[in-house]
Amino acid sequence: MTQASRILAAWWRTRTALRQSPERLAEGRLRAWTALQPALARTPALVAFAGQPLDNFPITDIADLRHDYGAWNSLGLSDRELRAMADAAEAGEQAAPGALSAGWSTGSGGTTRGLFVASPAERAEYIGQSLARLLPARALLRRQRIALHLRAGNVLYSDAGRGRIAFRHIPLASQLAETSAALEAFAPTILIAPPHRLLALAEAGVRLPALRHLFCGSEPISAAERSLVAARLGLGPRAIYQATEGFLGAECRAGRLHLNDHVLAIELEPVAGTPGFRPIITDLKRASQPVVRLRGDDYLELDPRPCPCGFAGRVIRPVEGRVADIWRGSAGCVTPPQIVAAVEGVLGAGHRWQAVGELARAVLRVAPDCPPAQAEAAAQALAAAAARPVELRRDLPEWSGSKRRKVVWADG
């Protein structure tokens, strides 16, 4: 099977799944789970459970998986071999088309980065799913120029980008002016970038007249930031919920974030003291590097309102932070969405900020150019929402690294 026909097959399967009832989706998940068992039987960490129902498998924390990738692949590769492959890819060595590819993902603050392995069939599956989830069918009939403004050239796209679709990778490490010039020269029709860079590009006045579809990923984006990007670029960004553990969800055309319930079995583990959950992720399509009951760290809340788009995948509220960054205290838990709402209700999206919570106090850091009265008001709103005194500092530097963290819990 050629890569193009694999992509088309995955696209078609996904388009079909987007119209199925919750019951049909569940049947599809069960079939995919059965088909996955031979790969699990070749995976050292899971071989003892292969053939059993999902519930019987252990729940694994990501740190444990990252400790030994050799135990978590079905290809007989050792931890050392996989790390060497990913290092080579990061150093710019291209995996041959048709070969296994490996790479490193962005780690969020405080966590180590994750290693990702994908076979050609898995890369095709990912691209087919993404195209079906993110773009209307008619968009595939046009020539598209897709700009990926991400940390590393995503291994998943390494053999796409022929025919009608051109991919251009613009590294996140590039300076803003350089990025802006590269984007204007490429004139993408589709752009994928992290929110903090989209905001910076929008503020710098980047001109992208050919842009038809705008996506953001790899870190949370708030409601205020969305409005600001939409106002400046003339196009609202849609969120892609992607982690090293897989492609977990995406916003539909109605702007609602659906979990990828057609290819993932995501269990929701309640987070004590909050209305939210953390995801326990099983990717039913990944055989090279199985993801089975992996406990993620994002803080999720369900959105019970039905979605008019017709996809039965569960809808969650925008992801705004990690479970590890929930603030604890005598007055109970304060969640990342509550903290973002309190601060940005006053500051809006135009000013950089970071809130660091401790048991009995918190610090709100804002950019030096943030107007003092507004910063004071934001600190007061945060103090009220988080029920603790807030110290204000006007010394927050530019975001460095590839991930920003607006909400941080420092009392661990």
Burial class (CB in 10 A: 0-12, 13-18, 19+), 324: middle
One-letter amino acid of 197: R
Within 13 Å, how many C-alpha atoms sit on residue 283's CB side? 23
CB of 67 to Zn ion, least distance (A): 37
Residue 375 binds to Zn ion (criterion: CB under 5 A): no
Q: Choose among 71, 403, 131: nearest CA to 244.
A: 403
Choice between 252 and 364, CB closer to Zn ion: 252
Write the interaction track for Zn ion spanning residues 202-241; mark x where CB under 5 A is met and - where it is not: ----------------------------------------
Within 13 Å, how many C-alpha atoms sit on residue 234's CB side? 8
CB of 252 to Zn ion, least distance (A): 3
Write the interaction track for Zn ion spanning residues 246-275; mark x where CB under 5 A is met and - where it is not: ------x-x-x-------------------
Choice between 301 and 325, CB closer to Zn ion: 301
Q: Which stretch binds Zn ion (CB under 5 A): 25-33, 48-56, 87-95, 308-316?
A: 308-316
Choice between 252 and 323, CB closer to Zn ion: 252
Size of the site for Zn ion (CB under 5 A): 5
CB of 254 to Zn ion, least distance (A): 5
Q: How far lies 204's CA from each of 150, 198, 233, 399, in Å? A: 18, 10, 11, 16
One-letter amino acid of 259: L
Residue 137 binds to Zn ion (criterion: CB under 5 A): no
Residue 307 binds to Zn ion (criterion: CB under 5 A): yes
Q: List, as one string, the DSSP characters of 255-321.
A: S-EEE-TTTEEEEEEE-TTSS-EEEEEEETT--SS-EEEEE--B-B-B--S--TT---SPEEPPP--
Choice between 25 and 252, CB closer to Zn ion: 252
CB of 163 to Zn ion, least distance (A): 29
Residue 22 binds to Zn ion (criterion: CB under 5 A): no
Choice between 314 and 365, CB closer to Zn ion: 314
Residue 310 has φ and ψ, to the nearest 5°, of: 100, -15
Q: Where are the alpha helices (DSSP H) in 187-258?
A: 195-203, 223-233
Give the Cα separation of 315 and 295 in Å (integer): 19
Which listed residue (32, 71, 224, 309) binds Zn ion by CB under 5 A? 309
Binding stretches for Zn ion (CB under 5 A): 252, 254, 256, 307, 309
